[in-house]
Amino acid sequence: MVCPKDRLDPTTWWFPFAGRVAYLGFFDKEYALKTKKEFEEDGYDTYLRGVSAYSTLGWFDDPIFSTMLAFRDETLANVIIHELTHGTIYRKGDTAFNEGVAKFISRWRKALEAYYAAPQSSDEKILKRESEFLKIKEDFQKLKPKLKTSSYLYFDRLPLNNAIFAAFGQYYEDLSLFEKVWEKHHRNLLETLEFFKTKASDDEWDLKSDNF
């Protein structure tokens, strides 16, 4: 994940089949580290992490790796359901939609966006942003005991920057909209998935402007 230091505006890349995506994936760790260093030398925030699984969006049968078998039951179930959702529903070129529909949780990003939108210079925003990051870490401590899986327990140990928030934002961006769809379809999973499958192929559809 790559992002400027004074705003939450992640760099994007375009790929065949997947469309425009707001992150890069690597199968070569050294290549990933080299790319990370290059962006940092150009003055960007970066966030590089490993992943426990990935989806080929239904093009192939995605494996369950042997390393997953050491996961706690609820964490393994979360990973499997998340990746199967990507294989069931994929909206080309819309990263926030694809990650948001796979997870139901939301917070923090709007407050940080408001901070960067305030009338101050870029240098001032970068200088003072650490206090904003500290507030968010402290807020996370209240949420941490309520988490049902271990997937994000590490959040408050990260050296926070904009790339990290942009990455988490792909998962947590205004998920109240997905909750409204869930309620509209009587909290029925199959009906909700069918709705999103229909809308995912509609290039003109905008979740935020739809009236549920």
For 40-82, how does the pLDDT look when each residue is reduced to its tens digit (9 = 90+)? 999 999 999 988 777 777 778 877 788 888 888 877 887 777 7
pLDDT confidence of residue 89: 62
Query: Residue 73 in contact with residue 32, Cβ under 8 Å?
Result: no
Q: What is the mean pLDDT of residues 104-120?
A: 78
CA 114 to chain centroid: 19
Q: What is the mean pLDDT of residues 133-157?
A: 80
pLDDT confidence of residue 208: 67
The percent of residues above 70 in pLDDT, for the chain, comes to: 83
Report the C-alpha gap between 58 and 90 in whole angstroms. Answer: 9
Q: Which of 1-10, 54-63, 91-100 comes out lowest in average pLDDT?
A: 91-100
Per the structure block, which two tokens stand in for 62? 């995605």
- Average pLDDT of the residues of the chain: 81
Query: Residue 160 in contact with residue 136, Cβ under 8 Å?
Result: yes
In the block, residue with structure tokens 């961006």: 173
pLDDT confidence of residue 104: 30
pLDDT of 99 over the 60 cut: no
Determine the straight-line distance between the first and last CA of the chain, rounded to whole angstroms. Answer: 33
3-class secondary-structure state, position 137: helix
Per the structure block, which two tokens stand in for 138? 């402290």
pLDDT confidence of residue 100: 38
**pLDDT band for position 126 (cuts 50, 70, 90):** very high
Residues forming beta bridges with residue 91, ordered by sequence position: none
Q: Which of 15-24, 33-42, 70-79 comes out lowest in average pLDDT?
A: 70-79
CA 207 to chain centroid: 17
pLDDT of 122 over the 80 cut: yes
Per the structure block, which two tokens stand in for 134? 């500290």
For residue 129, the surrounding DSSP H or E stretch is helix 122-143
pLDDT confidence of residue 29: 95
Q: Which parts of 16-78 are beta strand (E)?
A: 19-21, 45-46
24 vs 180 pLDDT, higher one: 24
User: The whole model's pTM is what?
Assistant: 0.67
DSSP H helical ranges for the chain: 29-41, 73-88, 95-100, 109-117, 122-143, 162-172, 176-184, 189-200
